[in-house]
Amino acid sequence: MTLASAWFALIAVLFAGYAVLDGFDLGVGILYPFLGRSEEDKAIMRRSVGPVWDGNEVWLITAGGALFAAFPAVYATVFSGMYLALALLLFALIFRAASLEFRQRDPAWARFWDWSFFVGSAIPSLLFGVAVGNVVRGLPLTAAGEMIAGGGSPRFLGNLLAALNPYAIVIGVLSVVWIVMHGAAWLSLKTTGGLRARATSLRKRMLGVYTAVAAVATLATAVLVPSAFAKVTASVAGWLFVVIEVLAVVLGHVASRMGKDKETWYATAAAGIGLVGIWAAAIYPALVPALPGSAGEALTITNASSSDLTLTVMLIVAVICIPLVLFYHAFVYKTYAGRIEPSADDAY
């Protein structure tokens, strides 16, 4: 395996870690106005993610930093071409973070912070999927490998409206459905009483919805992006993640019916890992496939990577730091393990 391939895999791992860990945070936020029927329910939902949400988002920051250092051309192209979408995503995440910090401490603005938590979770959930769909489908690239047509009057080729194409919307819906399912599984694991009963009931329904939407997304990929579908089915890694995805869904249904909350959450987490793995297999060795008809070629691990020295030094740092991050997460999750009981003094 080359250094560039190793970093492609490592960045995929970082995105998978973010999806699994921050995915249930986002799911709780989307479910917040629907399952939180009382102030006590809302407080418990906030407390379920309060101690961990900021640590979970570190995975996204780390993945972005790794992409910038290992494949700077990809970072520049995607972040400039999708500037408006990424700005919207950033503002949504900022308001979501602020809502978790200020909701309990600012009763006068409680309604505003409640909606900020919901909207700040729903927008990223959709946009992450839309972004993945556009990358799999291919992005309009110039001969210079950019998404901007230059000259005297530069214009953005990757505008927000163009990003909302039918295939990307299908993947965006798949993203939202998985995140809601993952969030419901988390609430089933962390809560008690009526809130847990509602979350468990929703979890069972969302497993069925997710199965159907995943089937539609698979068909859409085969029909609308046959090159990506062929890459997955032609590679061992692709089939490995397809098997992980199918087994995760089956085990999720079985564990949910048996009332095994922890096992169901593990299954929904594995489904998220399967999705990220399938996405990686669908684009490798490209990081930014070119939309058919584009003037430029795809940005790949070969033509968009940093020098071998940079990749080597970064890999050494990653080998040292990632185990420390995993240890930190294990410690935090073990510290706050168990179900959340109603409390008169809510910290979050």
The residue among 323 and 154 whose pLDDT is bigger is 323
Model confidence band, residue 259 (pLDDT cutoffs 50, 70, 90): very high
pLDDT at 149: 67
Residue 330, Cβ density class (10 Å: 0-12 exposed, 13-18 middle, ≥19 buried): exposed
Q: What is the mean pLDDT of residues 12-21?
A: 96
Amino acid, res. 176: V
The residue among 118 and 161 whose pLDDT is bigger is 118
pLDDT at 348: 44
Encoded tokens for 224? 């609308």
Beta strands in 69-165 (DSSP E): 148-149, 155-156
Task: Name, in order, each residue with C-beta under 8 angstroms of 164's C-beta and a sequence gap of 6 or more.
Answer: 130
Q: What is the mean pLDDT of residues 68-75?
A: 94
Residue 251 has pLDDT above 80, yes or no: yes
Model confidence band, residue 155 (pLDDT cutoffs 50, 70, 90): low
Task: Give the count of beta carbons closer than 10 Å to the beta carbon of residue 18.
Answer: 22
Lowest pLDDT segment from 194-198, 207-211, 293-297: 293-297
Residue 73 has pLDDT above 50, yes or no: yes
Residue 345 has pLDDT above 60, yes or no: no
Encoded tokens for 141? 């690239």
Residue 252 to residues 46, 179, 242, 248: CA-CA distances in angstroms? 25, 14, 15, 6
Residue 306 to residues 70, 299, 313, 320: CA-CA distances in angstroms? 5, 12, 11, 20
- Helix (H) / strand (E) containing 325: helix 308-335
pLDDT at 104: 81
Torsion sign (Cα): 207, 15, 227, 3: negative
pLDDT at 347: 44
Q: What is the mean pLDDT of residues 195-219?
A: 97
Pick the most confident of 38-42, 76-80, 220-224.
220-224
Residue 20 has pLDDT above 90, yes or no: yes
Q: What is the mean pLDDT of residues 271-296?
A: 94
Q: Can you tell me the distance from the alpha carbon of 197 to that of 33, in angstroms, rounded to the nearest whole number?
A: 16
Task: Say how many residues make up the chain.
Answer: 348
